[in-house]
Structure 1
Amino acid sequence: MTQRPKFALIKQHIIDNIQAAKWVENQRVPSENELAEQFSVSRMTARRALSELTEAGILTRSQGLGTFVASLKSQSSLLEIKNIADEVQARNGVYSCSVLSLESISAVAPIAIALGVEINSQVYRSVLVHNENEQPLQVEERFVNPALAIHYLQQDFNHVTPHEYLSQVAPLTEARHTVEAIMPTSEVCQWLSLYNEEPCLQVIRRTWSSEGIVSFARLISPGSKYRLGGHLTFKRH
């Protein structure tokens, strides 16, 4: 049996303490030096464990103060998680979907890290085009943790969107987004029926349930057809 790397053991130790409520929200966790001494590893190994958990949103780091357990509560965001089929229907449009790929693949390093799984382990991948009134609106490439959505590949995404299905089997507790303008590849242009290259809006989204990271998705929409909006309500103190 392959021995797990030390940084992975440190990560699991931290996660176990948080899940067991031994370490609560905003509580300081051991430093790099303390973890290095406890697990007989280098500071670099301990730093990697803390950095990956910070990137995953489990920990938060404050310069000069240390590393703390992040808030486990969902937070309001400018970018709400909405089901694209509902968005289209709310505009009185007709929603449809084209499934381009639905497969199990070996996770390369960036995907494995994003999903919190072992490199080269099997993960699920889907590529869909969401349509409004038979016109391509958005390309969705999604990587899914099989442990949290066992029957993902058996779903008919012409009748239920990946977001709907995953919300049922692994209810969303947290999401993180990165939004940027990109120029589409020739492949994306073909999928979106873009005959003249135009800037697109790309959203990189990671979602969590109470059991861990559920999916990592890349959503690409033509700038001329899609926009983001939201509403924030601030509480008075």
Structure 2
Amino acid sequence: MGESPAPLYARIKQMIGDQISSGAWPPHHRVPSESELVSQLGFSRMTINRALREMTAEGLLVRMQGVGTFVAEPKGQSALFEVHNIAEEIAARGHRHHCVVVSLLEEQAGSERALALDVREGQQVFHSVIVHYENDIPVQIEDRYVSAAVAPDYLKQDFTRQTPHAYLSEVAPLTQGEHVVEAILAEPAECKLLQIERGEPCLLIRRRTWSGRNTVSSARLLHPGSRHRLEGRFDS
């Protein structure tokens, strides 16, 4: 007996994949909408939707809520065992970085934050939330708490011109870092900032940094799973 034909959704994925691999649909090319693909290909909307969902999960497409579906850039990557500046990582790939400062304010440390930053509960800390973009696509929410004692001028900085990591590296040179990595689902507000559908898996890096004996910052770095990967190397 011969092989059974591929399912319809798999055939659609192959057709779209061929357009991408041939260069006919380059990165950031807008993919026809589900309705347009139904009209062009004659398949059911359910079949088209499954093909697009699977290709998004595989990192080949990016679906931006309320905007459309686009061909993805090859996934950005970060070093797992090193602490790098996201702006430099993006520039090294030959891409354009910019960011939007969502909030930048002073708070009093609650018990969890006090423990993370090794300060007294109720002590002054700084809190910034920044969305980083790669070629106009949001790739990271940086939710960072900073010790006010270590970086007293943090709130005065323009983080659209210099990232928090770059600034903190100047005022409190990094001597040690800690990463904890998790796979999570983003909160609705985070999905909106990242322009992703609810339910898309995300990669979360919890990062703490030290300068000498001083804890400098505690950051929560959230990436859409379809747009990011981590890479590490170690010697035995």
TM-score (norm 1): 0.65
1:145 to 139, 144, 147: 147
The structure in which a higher percent of residues are strand is 2
Alpha-carbon distance between aligned partners in 2 of 1:107 and 1:78, rounded to the nearest angstrom: 28
Equivalent residue, structure 2, for 1:87: 89
Question: What RMSD over aligned residues (CA atoms) do the two structures have, in Å?
Answer: 1.2
Alpha-carbon distance between aligned partners in 2 of 1:139 and 1:110, rounded to the nearest angstrom: 20
Q: How does 1:56-205 map to 2 (within 5 A)?
A: 78-205=80-207
SS of 1:166's equivalent in the other structure is helix
Structure 1 gaps, min length 5: 1-76
Alpha-carbon distance between aligned partners in 2 of 1:128 and 1:88, rounded to the nearest angstrom: 16
Distance 1:79 1:122, change over 3 A: same
SS of 2:177's equivalent in the other structure is strand
**What per-residue deviation string (whole Å, max 9, x for no partner) do you get for residues 135-173 of structure 1?**
100000000001110110011001100000001100011
**Residues 79 and 228 of structure 1 are in contact (CA less than 8 Å); yes or no, is this contact kept in structure 2?**
no
How big is the shift at 1:78? 4.3
How big is the shift at 1:223? 0.3
How big is the shift at 1:79? 2.1
TM-score (norm 2): 0.65
1:233 paired with 2:235, answer yes
> Larger relative CO (CA 8 A, sep 6+): 1 or 2?
2
Q: Kindly name which structure, 1 or 2, has the bigger radius of gyration based on alpha carbons.
A: 2
Alpha-carbon distance between aligned partners in 2 of 1:228 and 1:98, rounded to the nearest angstrom: 23
SS of 2:173's equivalent in the other structure is coil
Alpha-carbon distance between aligned partners in 2 of 1:170 and 1:104, rounded to the nearest angstrom: 19
Whichever residue aligns with residue 86 of structure 2, its letter is I
Alpha-carbon distance between aligned partners in 2 of 1:117 and 1:159, rounded to the nearest angstrom: 29
Whichever residue aligns with residue 123 of structure 1, its letter is V
Residue identity (%): 47
Structure 2 gaps, min length 5: 1-78
